[in-house]
Structure 1
């Protein structure tokens, strides 16, 4: 079983806490405090990170405001002119039959 399916490195380069913190431009303590929730490699007491894991950490800790997400959504395409929408007219909708009998049978 490949537990490193997230890694696409040709050659795994292992970064220490200090090197990873420098690459992510954060403090070493940030990584140490959150290591249980971050992708990493552990051999004994040694912790290391590959570039793919650093990219996942960066993606996980990135904040994108809602208005930016709205800008990245494709604009809705308008319906072609002359086409009839596939919506049923309200005048043709009728209530279902038999509700009163079902309710009376349940209470009786």
Structure 2
């Protein structure tokens, strides 16, 4: 059984944080801050990335607008379940209460 089923590299070439950041055209800090959520290899305190892992990171961080998905006939995100009221709608319907009417004494005072 392959311990790295995502890897299709014939010869694994490992890249350091700096090399991976250069290939992905991002900052090293971006990778360091998100390392627990990114595919990578770790030996002791050393972290490295192969070409397949860099490709997965690129896919994970790609954003495709809905109109592009429509043009390419790709399925988009699932629609929200019907009958569910999003919290945003509930907050948008809140109106401030009417203030107290001023008394004649407070208005002249």
Fold agreement, TM-score > 0.5: yes
Deviation at 1:71, TM superposition (A): 0.4
RMSD: 1.1
Q: CA deviation at 1:3?
A: 2.4
Moved over 4 A (4+): none
Distance 2:15 2:52 in 1: 11
Gaps of 5+ in 2: 75-109
TM-score (ref. length: structure 2): 0.66
Instruction: Summarize the alignment of residues 1-108 of structure 1 with structure 2, pairs less than 5 Å apart.
Output: 1-73=1-73
Q: CA deviation at 1:2?
A: 2.1
Number of matched pairs: 74
Structure ID, larger Rg: 1
Q: Distance in 2 between matches of 1:30 and 1:60?
A: 13
TM-score by length of 1: 0.67
For 1:16 and 1:36, the matched residues in 2 are separated by: 16
